[in-house]
Amino acid sequence: MTDEDKEDYENRLKNILNNLGLTVKKYEDEEKSKEHSQDQEGTPQFQTISGNISSSELEKPKKSGKQKKKKSDDPKYSPVYLGWKAYKRMVGYALRYANNDIEQNKWREVYGVLIGHIEEEKRVIIKDSVPVMAGSDIGFELDPIHYVDVSDINNNIFQQSLDSNTQDFIVGWWHSHPGFGHFFSEVDILNQIGYQVPNPYAVGLVFDHCEMKDDSLGVKAIRLLKPEKGPGSSYDFVELRYFIEHEQAEIFEKVDNLIKKINENMPRVLKELEHIEEVLVKKTLPQLQNKFSLIADSDMGIHEEEEPGEYIAKSYIWEHDSFRNVKGAPKFRARIEAVIKNCDATLKDLQKKGKTDKYKDKKETFQKRINVLLSKPNKMLQQVMDDFGSSLDVIYPFFDFLDTAERKSIEHFEEWIYDYFKVLDNLKFSLANL
């Protein structure tokens, strides 16, 4: 890698640096809780299991020269505790792209981020590992969208931590080295800089399924010794323990079963994801929009040069008079609301004049008329939801092993559908209050 390449890569890390720096500052400014809430996996019991990496088994650092005495209060030597959910999700996603049932020349590296917190400034607790992307057979390269994805994950986790008082945030990253062993490449060192400079406790995990044997679960933890030196920094392996209730033999059995399930079901999962994107997003939803235009095209980000479905639906609240004379206004919705408004005015006039019998007859007539108009979009939307629900039945058991792009295709569709339901519910509410 040339100096110019390194400089370009470091510049691309700025988004992660900035976001992680802010998160760590907020985390450090908060009062550290002495009581730790129990997460989905239960309260961590910091006991090693067979297969843990003990301090006596740590590999020697690359190009590190003489190793200085490790201090218990030095963040770069603080031990790392990996939970079952994080381990399972990491292994499950990595094994989608490299396992013994796939030809070795087709193995691919994968990348993700680690979610957890710092325990009493002594250890790093990893509760979850979020898959981000799959690379090539020799590595991975983050595009700008992946930095945005990581930033979004970080912001979401931080907000969830505030809500649940768990103090979780992105504590590092992980990637796979299928068949390559445990080490940091030059690119890996640059990536680790982006995490460890703002947070000295940040760790990088490397998983190689070929190393799942004897007393190893295939994962090792790494930190840079002097991240401030930049790409020239050496690294060292860090003590890695697990808070997993299962014995190692049971873990291997569970992983084997997981691989079988993924290999058997992932083709169908990917087929359903493709159905959501190619059929529901690119065809069915545009048809729904073209017929009923319940949401303003301008707000959904539709441009003339785009093919149907290339836009990403965003959360949208349509104010009563916002788009009356704007191109792309939701015409069908405006028509329905105009009918409701006229009906409401007529009914109020009849009520004011004391024509009770005529008021009741008119109200019933108006409600039937409007219900007929709303029945068509409601019926079509329900068909879309039934189709979507069938896809989700297949996808959700393996949702944890999808990357950000795959998860977003589902999340964006759900947001888009929610907007439609919200519009129709508001219209029903207006109708009920005539």
Buried b (16+ CB within 10 A) or exposed e, 16-29: beebbeebbeebee
What are 219's strand-pairing partners? 207
Mapped onto helix, strand or coil, the DSSP state of residue 210 is helix
In which residue are the tokens 């159905």 written?
A: 275
For residue 131, the model assigns a pLDDT of 93
Torsion of CA 277, 280, 283, 286, to 10 degrees: -110
pLDDT at 5 over 50: no
34, two tokens: 């002495």
Task: Kindly report the backbone phi and psi dihedral angles of residue 339, in degrees, each rounded to the nearest multiple of 5, phi listed first.
Answer: -65, -45
60-83 pLDDT, tens digit per residue, is 334 444 445 455 578 999 999 999
Lowest-confidence segment of 59-73, 219-233, 400-414 by average pLDDT: 59-73
For residue 152, the model assigns a pLDDT of 76
Q: For helices 404-432 and 144-164, give the axis angle rounded to 10 degrees.
A: 60
Into how many domains does the chain fold?
2
32 in the same domain as 126: yes
Lowest-confidence segment of 19-23, 88-92, 402-406 by average pLDDT: 19-23
Where does residue 286 rank: exposed (0-12), middle (13-18), buried (19+ CB within 10 A)?
middle
For residue 57, the model assigns a pLDDT of 33
254 domain residue, yes or no: no
Range of the domain at 166: 3-245
412 in the same domain as 298: yes
Mean residue pLDDT of the chain comes to 75
In which residue are the tokens 């990403």 written?
A: 312
36 domain residue, yes or no: yes
342 domain residue, yes or no: yes
226-251 pLDDT, tens digit per residue, is 999 888 899 999 999 998 877 878 88
260/262 Cα distance (integer angstroms): 5
For residue 274, the model assigns a pLDDT of 94
151 in the same domain as 87: yes
389, two tokens: 């629900």
Which of these three, 187, 213, 245, is where a domain ends? 245
94-115 pLDDT, tens digit per residue, is 999 998 888 999 999 999 999 9
230/194 Cα distance (integer angstroms): 10
427 in the same domain as 362: yes
pTM of the shown model = 0.70
For residue 255, the model assigns a pLDDT of 86
28-42 pLDDT, tens digit per residue, is 333 333 333 333 333
Torsion of CA 9, 15, 21, 23, to 10 degrees: -140
pLDDT at 129 over 90: yes
Q: What residues contact residue 368 under an 8 Å CB cut-off, 6+ apart? A: none
344-386 pLDDT, tens digit per residue, is 888 888 888 888 888 888 888 888 888 888 888 888 888 999 9
41 in the same domain as 154: yes
For the segment 185-206, the average pLDDT, to the nearest whole number, is 93
298/286 Cα distance (integer angstroms): 14
293/328 Cα distance (integer angstroms): 8
405 in the same domain as 282: yes
For residue 308, the model assigns a pLDDT of 34
CATH number at residue 42: 3.40.140.10
299 in the same domain as 381: yes
The helix (H) or strand (E) run that includes residue 10 is: helix 3-12
Asked whether the beta carbons of 172 and 202 are under 8 A apart, the reply is yes
Half-sphere exposure of residue 119, counting CA atoms within 13 Å on the CB side? 18
Which of these three, 216, 245, 274, is where a domain ends? 245
260 domain residue, yes or no: no
250 domain residue, yes or no: no
172 in the same domain as 55: yes
